[in-house]
Amino acid sequence: MGQKDIISKQIFKRILIDVATYIFKLQLETVELIETEQQRIEDRRTDLVARVKDSDGKAFILHIEIQNQNQQDMPDRMLRYLTDIRLNYPDEEVFQYLLYIGKATLTMPNNIQSAQLQYCYTVIDMHDMDYHFFINQNSPDAIVMALLCDIKAMDIKAVVHEILTKLTTLLQNDSKRLREYLSMVEILASNRNINLDIQQEFEMLQIEIEKLPSFMIGQEKGMEKGMEKGMQKGMAAGARERALLIAKQLMKKNLSLEEIAQITGLDVAALASLDQE
């Protein structure tokens, strides 16, 4: 199992309720995550297992597997997971879902039909989900998941810009959570092979927002605070390189060197030499 796959599953564990609500259409009232690890010849662990109760008061165990690759033996694996869960919780009903987030077209079966066994589970392909439904939710979890929806015919940069704008609007007063969701966007973007620098896109967005009239009040105070912090800690090489890249973009918009210096934290002399390149 690759590191990207592991991290993606950690993300979905954090947003389990919204995954159940928006993707599987389950209205859950309570959720209790269950850690599962069964050992026979090899170790294996299910992705997400939780004891839940829906809005009608019905209690059951919810098992969700996250897949970013097609594996033709998935029904057999799902059946093994089911038997493991049932052996540990024999008196509880189990519902199984597989959420496919891979790039390739979904080709995995979702059932076993034989003379001895009739077995199936629900498969949801995120590529079939409506991007606009998720992006229009008032939940940062749903907005992050929009990146995994059907966006093939859309401009990727515009999609990322819209997602970052929505997250910024919802979480503008909670910078810690905003950074956490930006990290989620970066990881899930890698699942879609989106080759954009999410942090750079976010910084460019911040510049656009700061130029809006609603952000002009108190802007000077914020700049002074940022400049003071920059003088105290210095500018790391990576941050300076990114600031120079942003400065070049702003020069194309015909902003003055003084305005660019205020926005990026670079001094005018450095910008002047950059302008001559």
Output the CA–CA distances (angstroms, integers) from residue 133 to 143, 149, 190, 192, 224, in the order listed.
Answer: 9, 10, 22, 19, 40
pLDDT at 60: 95
The Cα–Cα gap between 235 and 241 comes to: 10
The Cα–Cα gap between 170 and 32 comes to: 27
Output the CA–CA distances (angstroms, integers) from residue 35 to 24, 51, 65, in the order listed.
Answer: 21, 11, 14
Torsion of CA 185, 190, 192, 197, to 10 degrees: 70
Tell me: domain 1-128, CATH 2.60.40, correct?
A: no
The Cα–Cα gap between 23 and 139 comes to: 14
Residue 8's CB is within 10 A of a number of other CB atoms, namely 21
Residues paired with residue 276 on neighbouring β-strands, in sequence order:
none
Q: What angle do CA 242, 243, 246 make, to 5 degrees?
A: 90
User: Which part of the chain has CATH 3.40.1350?
Assistant: 1-128
pLDDT at 253: 67
pTM of the shown model: 0.64
pLDDT at 189: 83
pLDDT at 248: 77
Which residues of the chain register pLDDT less than 70? 1-9, 35-46, 206-240, 242, 253, 262-264, 275-277
Residue with tokens 């809005």: 55
Phi-psi region of 37 (alpha: psi -120 to 50; beta: other; left: phi over 0): beta
pLDDT at 209: 55
**DSSP label of 27:** -
pLDDT at 244: 75
Question: Is-contact 130 149, C-beta < 8 A?
Answer: yes
pLDDT at 219: 46
